[in-house]
Amino acid sequence: MHPAQTTIAAVRWRELGPTVELIDQRQLPGELVLLRCTEPAQVIDAIRTLAVRGAPAIGVAAAYGIALGLCATGDIDRHVDALCDDFAATRPTAVNLFWAVAQMRDSVAHSAGLPTAQRHRRIVAAAHAIAVDDASCCAAMGRHGAALLPDRGGILTHCNTGSLATAGIGTALGVIRTAIADGKQLHVWIDETRPLLQGARLTAWECAQDGIAATLICDNMAGHALKTGRIAAAIVGADRIAANGDSANKIGTYPLAVLCAHHGVPLYIAAPTSTIDLQCPHGDAIPIEERAAQEVTHPLGVRFAADGVGVFNPAFDVAPASLIAAIITEEGVARPPFAVDLQAMVDRARLRRSAATAGAQAPQL
């Protein structure tokens, strides 16, 4: 078995500057351009405008953006709340963002009383820990999830859930990468993912980079692909998973879930436990981001729609738990009814993370 790997880093911290370096995903697949952010406001703008996107990557970018802001001040305690609030206000749906911001607030609180330079190092280390944790979650999801995929056949995916969306090999795409590295003969079917085309622009690009056999379809072709037996399983990521397993993900996931159920094809969700929100009892309580009309009327800046037409542009929808075959996290595979498994996974992850933090902060003997 060969571990799946990636050379794509969506978000990087550079000590020099310091700088948060992002792949500008708005420019892909045309050009691989790096955005070098030296101010938190630039990272905030990058998150809002989807230069960096994908639930885990947003969390990592926010953590580094907060570190950037706090390393520039000697008065950390005066700035931390406003800075964290600014990052938390960037996008409402992906709970990884709020999770990462909370981790950063905690690390600031725990470093109180230390000399400023030491606090700065602790804060940067906390952001690194979020990135490292996400990369290892991706690898673990890959191991748990690969076993669920068939030995051969078509796998349908939606949006982009790869290295561009995480700090590692990806969530759903990470599972696919791992299954292929394990020797499974899979062909990836990529929904283009209207309106912002994360499937066509980003997932197709990642598959091409890795030599993964893939076919692009428009979102409205998924039904025909399923009906004609081309798809053995579907796997997607999530931006927020409610306590009952209802899973918010990129708009178009709900109809895909309905189609999969109709055709008896399993739909798997792959997401780290940082995507699970036990405070949300069910999907109706998940805030759904609505974005600018321009994204629908002018995809890639080209006018598609008649002037003056009304537009509804929700960026996410919710796949109900009843239509999900399994939820893969770094802690294992949750099966319906999901509530008990999800609670246990979150508890285990909390223990694992606090043991890792205690280890990292223990005095060196």
Q: Which amino acid is it at 319?
A: A
Question: Is residue 204 within the footprint of ligand MRU (CB under 6 A)?
Answer: no
Among 20, 22, 54, 62, binds ligand MRU (CB under 6 A): 54
User: CB under 8 Å to 87, separation ≥6 — which residues?
Assistant: 40, 43, 44, 47, 62, 65, 66, 97, 101
* Angle made by CA atoms 69, 70, 74, in degrees to the nearest 5: 125
Q: Give the interface segment with ligand MRU, choosing from 128-136, 233-241, 333-341, 354-362 (CB under 6 A).
A: 233-241
Binding-site residue total for ligand MRU (CB under 6 A)?
A: 18
Say whether 247 sits in a helix, a strand or coil: strand
Among 236, 312, 237, CA closest to 274: 237
Q: Quick one: 175 exposed, middle or buried, by C-beta within 10 A (0-12, 13-18, 19+)?
A: buried
Residue pair 288/248 in contact by the 8 Å Cβ criterion:
yes
- For ligand MRU, give the closer residue by CB, 94 or 323: 94
Among 165, 235, 286, 346, binds ligand MRU (CB under 6 A): 165
- For ligand MRU, give the closer residue by CB, 124 or 256: 256
- For ligand MRU, give the closer residue by CB, 155 or 238: 238
178 vs 103: CA distance, rounded Å: 29
Question: Is residue 315 within the footprint of ligand MRU (CB under 6 A)?
Answer: yes
84 vs 69: CA distance, rounded Å: 10
- For ligand MRU, give the closer residue by CB, 196 or 321: 196
- For ligand MRU, give the closer residue by CB, 80 or 167: 167
Closest distance to ligand MRU from the beta carbon of 280 (Å) = 16
CA dihedral 112, 113, 118, 122 (to 10 degrees): -20
Whether 239 sits among the annotated catalytic residues: the reply is: yes
Question: Is residue 56 within the footprint of ligand MRU (CB under 6 A)?
Answer: yes
- For ligand MRU, give the closer residue by CB, 70 or 94: 94
Question: Is residue 169 within the footprint of ligand MRU (CB under 6 A)?
Answer: no
Q: Which amino acid is it at 182?
A: D
Bridge partners, 355 (sequence order): none
Say whether 156 sits in a helix, a strand or coil: strand
Q: Give the interface segment with ligand MRU, choosing from 8-16, 53-61, 100-108, 175-183 (CB under 6 A).
A: 53-61
User: CB under 8 Å to 316, separation ≥6 — which residues?
Assistant: 93, 239, 248, 249, 250, 251, 253, 286, 288, 289
> Considering only residues 248-307, where is the footprint of ligand MRU by CB under 6 A?
249-250
Closest distance to ligand MRU from the beta carbon of 336 (Å) = 20
Among candidate residues 86, 134, 239, 277, the one labeled active-site is 239
Question: Is residue 53 within the footprint of ligand MRU (CB under 6 A)?
Answer: yes
Residues in contact with ligand MRU by CB under 6 A are 50, 53-56, 94, 159, 161, 165-166, 171, 198, 237-239, 249-250, 315
Residues catalogued as catalytic: 239
